[in-house]
Amino acid sequence: MDRFLIQGGEPLQGTVSTARAKNAVLPLLAACLLTEDTCTIKDVPALEDVNTMLKLLRLIGVRIEQENRTVHLTAQGKLNHEAPYDIVRKMRASYYVLGPLLARFGTCRVSLPGGCAIGPRPVDLHIKGVTALGAKVAVERGYIHARAKKLNGNTMMLEGYKGPSVGATINTMMAATLARGETVIEGAACEPEVVDLANFLNAMGARISGAGTPEIRIQGVKQLSGTTHRPIADRIEAGTFAVAAAITRGTVQITDCQPEHLTAVLTKLKEIGARIAIDQTSIQVEMKSRPRATKISTAPYPGFPTDLQAQFTALLTIAAGTSTITENIFESRFLHALELNRMGASIDINGNMAVIHGVEKLQGAQVMASDLRASAALVLAGLAARGKTEILRIYHLDRGYEHLEKKIARLGGKIKRIKPT
């Protein structure tokens, strides 16, 4: 397996461009199942999760043509209605084919999902959404079997005990585009990726309003057509580079991004001492002193994103004072804390809270990544640490960051990918 070797202590300096958002691209690709016309997605990032979704769509029978970063998808002819375990276990977002397959063909068989080891992420709200639209759903031998001669619009509350579900909102919204009548999703997720998908679906001929608010309304249509779309910028990648600038006490200009999607993150960076300058499509982060301690609680958008919790944990390990991070979205999402402690951090975990006692400096060590965002946190820690850091199992990182080491190297970071001999 590939690994990273990092020589820490170099402030990052320069400009880095943001890729398109993985969490937007994956549902967009699945949504192409809703029409037999060709859909075109531009600037698709070269990520393992994207490759997994394209593999699944090819298995279903979608014709896919790629020209550099442009992907043309045509879901025409006889298609397979199953998403098998061998693919879905690798990536939870494979589950996004449930809504489109059910809406267009009236049947689907989708394996229960996999993904990162960050605690249970139940599918009950996905099932609740399509059931409310009239589908009959059974869970048998690790698969969801859903059938409906015709879906019918309905009003439903999709918010779970930990808040809105992005996945359930997306799946239900896609299914409802071809349902009879009006569907109202209350307690809907407000994330920018939901808005991006709604814009894509509307360009295909759907009638969706309210995306980005807790109430989404969908007027069902008989059919959808093809369209061309460029996804939104990856706010998590942009946030990761913002933290990279802060943790190395450097200055980084992050371009081709959407600062309005990172308000909670930029507010916290300012609070701990970073200097932030933004315009319509860029963010500059400058940090010249040791960060101050703070308190963070993850929350659904527009709150502080759980997908940047690990990166901020790494940053706060070198803050002056004691910080706390409360993780309200996913269980078991502090696995990176044990590895950061191997690097000299002082982190105590108490349930869903991390208490971080800031130290002057981290020390390089051999560490192991447990999931996608934990991988990014360890890279950031390695960039700030004294000496060499070796990060194992970086395949997690390749699921969500495109050539991260190359971007960091262009900013002056000393990082190398080592392949097995």
CATH class of 3-19+233-418: alpha beta
Ramachandran bin of 2, using left for φ above 0, alpha for ψ from -120 to 50, beta for the remaining angles:
beta
Nearest-angstrom CA–CA distance, 208 and 418:
47
Cα 387-391-395 angle, rounded to 5 deg: 155
Query: 143-176 as b/e, with b when 16 or more CB fall inside 10 Å?
Result: bbbbebeebbbbebebbeeebbbbbbbbbbbbbb
Residue 57 identity: L
The domains spanning 3-19+233-418 and 22-229 adopt the same CATH topology: yes
Task: Give domain limits for the chain.
Answer: 3-19+233-418, 22-229
Active site residues: 116
β partners of residue 139: 144
Token pair for 5: 């070797």
What SS3 state is found at 126? Answer: helix
Please give the pLDDT value at position 100.
98
CA distance 317 to 339: 12
Amino acid at position 58, single letter: R
In tens digits, the chain (421 residues) has pLDDT values of: 899 999 999 999 999 999 999 999 999 999 999 999 999 999 999 999 999 999 999 999 999 999 999 999 999 999 999 999 888 888 878 889 999 999 999 999 998 875 444 344 468 899 999 999 999 999 888 899 999 999 999 999 999 888 999 999 999 999 999 999 999 999 999 999 999 999 999 999 999 999 999 999 999 999 999 999 999 999 999 999 999 999 999 999 999 999 999 999 999 999 999 999 999 999 999 999 999 999 999 999 999 999 999 999 999 999 999 999 999 998 778 999 999 999 999 999 999 999 999 999 999 999 999 899 999 999 999 999 999 999 999 999 999 999 999 999 999 999 999 999 8
In whole angstroms, give the CA distance from residue 69 to residue 42. 6
Structure-derived torsion over alpha carbons of residues 14, 18, 19, 24, reported in degrees to the nearest 10: 160
Looking at the domain 22-229, which fold is it?
UDP-n-acetylglucosamine1-carboxyvinyl-transferase; Chain (3.65.10)
Task: Please give the C-alpha separations between residue 21 and each of 237, 252, 261, 334, in angstroms, as whole numbers.
Answer: 8, 20, 12, 24
> What are the distances in angstroms from CA 39 to CA 30, 54, 100?
11, 13, 14
